[in-house]
Amino acid sequence: MKPLTAISSALVGATFAAASPLPNIVFIYSDDHAYQAISAYGDARKLLATPNIDRIGRSGMRFDRCLVTNSLCGPARATVLTGKYSHLNGFVNNWNCTFDGAQTTFPKLLQEAGYQTAIIGKWHLGSEPTGFDFWQILPGQGRYYNPPMIRMGREIQVPGYVTDIIGDASIEWLRTRDKKKPFLLMSQNKAPHREWAPALRHLGADGARRYSEPPTLFDDYHGRGIAERDQDMTIEKTMTYDRDLKFKPQSPLTPEQRKQWDAYYEPRKAEFQTADLQGEDLVRWKYQSYMHDYLATIRAVDENVGRILDYLEQEGIADNTIVIYSSDQGFFLGEHGWFDKRWIFEESLRAPLLVRWPGVIEPGSSNADLVSNLDFAATFLEVAGVPVPAEMQGRSFLPILKGRRPPDWRQSFYYQFYEYPAPHRVRPHYGVVTNRYKLVRFYGTGEDYWELFDLDRDPQELRSVYQVPEYATTVAELTQELGRLRSILNVPVGVPNDWYGGTQTPAYDGTRK
């Protein structure tokens, strides 16, 4: 026999469900999808039309300042699940971390509250998923073509293109679920992660188009420190010919897939070899090739977002389903001459976030408040009427979705990156972000220093003003705020060496909280 309290809770839940069905939650998550490559964000370069992702924004809310706690794939996923910073959820880097599935996560709590839960696609956390009634994941980073997958602990091989496969599996799970229960579906794409391999139907989708270059493509890093100058993530020097620029085919391809691949990439390679490009012309060619491939992968993502939205409408459950589109972090599309992420700088720090919930969110609205992937767990729980555990460090932005920002909503945000030196040699750093400023400390490599950026006067973050006398008061105030955030977030005074995860380890961060 169940305890009286459990019976009472069940009756209350049943009564509430009968009066107002609990909303379904569809969380569509991509990997390295830059907000600049979503047309709803109105990037000046007009890189790509994303009509289906834009549908979410048109019928819901677009967030313009969704910040991540640690701009890296695995750590971002761990933060989404737990609502905690990397230093508390234990997943700080991609190299030597395994997610502790025994800890509290929002899918577990939704599952306990009667939700069906499923995760399909990229997982990238080392351990097996917990808290899900169904899971079908890519091992590791996954492959773009004919990927192996793991379905409920069993290895399977699935022919086709990975984004379509994830879309197919997501819709199949929606079709076969128990339709008497509310559900959480996390549909998580590999694309557009490096090496940006498009669906074969999208090869050459933009023909001979030349994409507009970012104004900082040839940034010389003047006005900033050694971290910016000594990284290893430039289009010029770091981007590889065989892998990134497709001088060698992806593996494995079927003979028919290989035929389509060669028909597009072999002429491109031959043209490049004939041109014998040097200097800035070579960088420009690499940038154009990068954009053609990266953006083409997003076409399939957008198509499959549309398929999921269409299914919800066809089944008649769209009005009672909150749909969220986001990415694990931002991504550089040539800004500062870079690709990849990791930095506290805007293109890396800021993730896209679009949310639709008919009857709750004002269609076509936008928001500039500082929200974060740290807040996703608490938001999903509040949407479902489930109490948010005190251990979660994020805060529900459901009131913002309803058009009522709490008066005490955050005005500053803490960021910390650990993984060093490989890959990309981005130095460990932490900092505080406001709507106008970023105060950053690079540490742990024997070359510690601070930088301050004024986003109002320098939106491209090209000059540190940390030493400028005019900003002395700002530096003092932000230093105090940084200390406050580190204290309330329980950031450890020293960073264990194995948190970095590269081939060598920096010294302890000896600063106070």
Question: What span, in angstroms and rounded, lies between the C-alpha atoms of 39 and 432?
Answer: 29
Share of the chain above pLDDT 90, in %: 90
Q: What is the pLDDT of residue 497?
A: 83
Q: What is the pLDDT of residue 505?
A: 53
| pTM summary value | 0.94
Query: For the chain, what are the domain ranges?
Result: 21-197+291-410, 414-499
Write down the pLDDT at residue 474.
98
Helix (H, G, I), strand (E, B) or coil at 444: coil
Q: Torsion angle, CA of 195/199/204/209, rounded to 10 degrees?
A: -60
Among residues 263, 395, 300, 390, which one has the least CA distance to residue 52?
300
**Residues facing 367 on adjacent strands:** 63
CATH class of 21-197+291-410: alpha beta
Q: What does the pLDDT read at residue 202?
A: 98
Q: Which helix (H) or strand (E) holds 301?
A: helix 279-315
Which stretches of 337-402 are assigned E, i.e. beta strand? 350-356, 365-367, 371-372
- Token pair 């530096």 is at which residue? 475
Structural contact between residues 171 and 307, judged by C-beta atoms closer than 8 angstroms: yes
pLDDT value of residue 496 = 86
Q: In what order do the strands lie in the sheet with 437-442?
A: 413-417, 429-433, 437-442, 449-454
Q: How far is CA 397 from CA 113, 282, 367, 401, in A?
A: 20, 45, 11, 6
Angle between helices 279-315 and 51-58 (to 10 degrees): 60
Residues of the chain with pLDDT under 50: 1-19, 508, 510-513
CB atoms within 10 A of CB 458: 13
Q: What CA–CA distances, in Å, run from 478 to 92, 414, 451? A: 25, 11, 11
Instruction: Tell me which of 3.30.420.40, 3.30.1120.10, 1.10.10.60, 3.40.47.10 is the CATH number of domain 414-499.
Output: 3.30.1120.10
Q: Provide the pLDDT for residue 19.
A: 44
